[in-house]
Structure 1
Amino acid sequence: MIIATETVIAMRCPSCGKLEFHKLSRFDFAGTNTVKVSCTCGAPKLIIGTKNRQQFWLQIPCVLCETNHLVYYRARQLWNEQVNFFYCSDTNVELGFFGPDEKVRAVAENYEHNLETLVDELGYDDYFFNPEVMFEVLNYLHDFAEEGYLYCECGSFQIEIDIFPDRIELQCKDCGAESVVYAETDDDLINIQNIKKIELVKNGFKFLNSIKNNNSNSGKNSGPKPKKRNKR
């Protein structure tokens, strides 16, 4: 009988949105009762704990309801040959999954694990001026983040995203620098498709809807900053 000793957890970061894979071994708990998993951006993703090595709990920060979910698994559930999913208990939206390395990566590759599905499930279609453009722009931003092409001039990769009906506002969590990405028209989508990276600056917003031939137009925000919507 072969006993599995490693599992791979796949989940998006509640801070930057990157989907990453984290190996978890039974031996990680040698000499300790808790294991902390963090994103490459530095944000905490989940805590795994146990008292008896037979039952384990996962504390998961939820990006949807902005609270921590606590779920329990037996050791044989964490380390087996099946892919298991965990969900937000309030919305029943999938937050991540775990299992054997190859199977988890296959699920991640074939599954439409993107923000369009997430927003559809939450019923935000009527919130956006142009949902199709918004979803595409959000996917581009997440691709930038995963490739390391979304960052601040201060050197930080910890970028907070606030979503409005017509745009996405980006803010550096370290220095407060801000940029705006518009996501309302086909031209806005073309603009984001024509750039290679986004760098936040301290001296004002970088208006990405003014990009032509891959050149950005930076400037001060000419009006008051719109009030952020309440996060759900």
Structure 2
Amino acid sequence: MILQPKDTTLAYRCPECGTTVMSVVGALALSGDVIKLKCSCGCSELILENTSDDKIRLTVPCVFCPSPHRYLVSRRLLTTRELFTFPCAYSGIDILFIGTKGAVLKAVEESDKELEELIDETEMSGIHDENERGGSYGDEHVRDMILFTLGELSEEGKISCGCPDGTGDFLIESRQDSVVISCKNCGRKKEISCAGHSLDAQMLFDCDSLYLEETPEQKN
């Protein structure tokens, strides 16, 4: 199903007042390279930044975390799916919804019910406190961007390894402080740190292709 820009709706929850903030991508896209969808309370905003390689950087407020999450996606993702959701890496609850208005409204309603069943205000406060102390992972914002960047590169066929072109079978594993992508066929892999200011992660975000390296065992 191919969606027209006017039918592509964005929605997120304001972490301050709890309101679901919703708008149409097509109407906002005319405003320039940086698009901001603000909550009426003035305490949060969803930011879309258009990149030169036809991708969009999303900065999404999170009801669980003290800082927003960041994702890098292709523009095609915003216009070719009936529904696509982005979860908070810590809680697993969806925080951003993209698609047709009807599909987004339904997904938000279902997510709200899930949220009500899983958590109360006391538990929510506990999650905020634990995230501010660092939680059980590294920088979750970096992790989010790594996972989506790897997904984009894989979808575009821009990840290579020791296998003939197009025959690699890639596995992405999210570990405590890093993300590892490996080929199940040839065994080559690449580990990318999720720590804040990670040079590996920054190099990944800036590249347009990725080559998996031989492991020490393979080199010997």
TM-score (norm 1): 0.47
TM-score normalized by structure 2? 0.49
Q: Find the structure with the greater CA-based Rg.
A: 1
Q: Higher strand share goes to which structure?
A: 1
